[in-house]
Each structure stands twice: as structure tokens, then as C-alpha cells.
Amino acid sequence: MLEAAGFAAESEVREDFKKADARWWREEIDGRMTQLLETKNYDGTLGKSECTEFTAEYGGLVRSGKAHRAWLISKGPISPDGRALVDNEPGLKAMTFAEFQRRLLGVDRYIQDLVAAYDAERIGEWYVRAVSGGLPSLGKRR
């Protein structure tokens, strides 16, 4: 998915003291943007303690310049306190896998574009609404 979105990616990499699930980068106008990814495959909600550990380890890597950003991706929901803890740290972001997919592939932006085109072209006016109980009466022709 990362490579399809235009990133050069590698999995299971060591960055200083931490083994990250993935590291990817993209060349930007002002140089290479490096990002790290930590994934959690929990059946339940990802708790604040796991988010605290992520913030301590990956926050240190971002602050030291080893990476520009680090994302925590959870299979399931993330506790509100844990998400707030991660998201409050500069360069860190917590999200579910579904949120990650939508952001990475730009699905939200694509859907917004479709809605805007639908409204601009007034597509809704082209369709005839279904009527239950058969066809509506057309009345007498003159």
C-alpha cells in the first residue's frame, strides 16, 4: 500500500534503538521525508499504556531527527486518552488501520470530489424516484 501511494518503503527495520514495523520515505521539495510505522494487531481497544510506550520511544526518534514522523496504526479502536496522548506529541499520530487506508489512498478526498461533481452536475435531478405499488397514474391525455 505504501509503495502504491508513492512511498519507497521497507519493513522490519532498525532505527537507532527501536525496531520499527516499517520505514518509508518520499522525496519532497526540501529533501527526504522519513516516516516510521508501528502496528498493533490487538483484538480489543489499544490502551493508553501501549500509546505511552509508543510516545516515549518514537517521540525520542522524532525529536532526535532520526525520523520526521511516526505513526501508530491499530487494527481496532484506540482509547481516547491514548490517542490524545500520541496526537499531542509533535510528529506523532495514532490512527486505526481503516483511517490509515483512507488517508494514504486519499479515499476521503476522492469521495468529496464525487459529491461535489454530483452536486455541480445536478445529477439528482436526472433520476425518477421509485413509486411503491406500481407506476403512477399519468392521467388523461389530451
Give first-to-last CA distance, the chain, whole Å.
Answer: 63
What pLDDT, on a 0 to 100 scale, did the predictor assign at position 24?
Answer: 83
- Tell the residue number behind the cell numbers 531527527, with chain if given: 65
What pLDDT, on a 0 to 100 scale, did the predictor assign at position 142?
Answer: 47
What pLDDT, on a 0 to 100 scale, did the predictor assign at position 53?
Answer: 95
What pLDDT, on a 0 to 100 scale, did the predictor assign at position 17?
Answer: 80
What pLDDT, on a 0 to 100 scale, did the predictor assign at position 31?
Answer: 82
Cα distance between residue 114 and residue 123, in whole Å: 11
What pLDDT, on a 0 to 100 scale, did the predictor assign at position 104?
Answer: 77
Cα-based angle 10, 74, 105 (whole degrees, multiple of 5): 60
64 CB burial (10 A radius; 0-12, 13-18, 19+)? exposed
pLDDT tens-place values along the chain, 142 residues long: 666 666 677 877 777 787 888 888 877 888 888 899 999 998 889 999 999 999 999 999 999 998 999 999 999 999 999 999 999 999 999 999 988 888 877 666 767 777 777 777 776 676 666 666 655 555 555 4
What pLDDT, on a 0 to 100 scale, did the predictor assign at position 32?
Answer: 83
What pLDDT, on a 0 to 100 scale, did the predictor assign at position 98?
Answer: 87
Cα distance between residue 34 and residue 126, in whole Å: 48
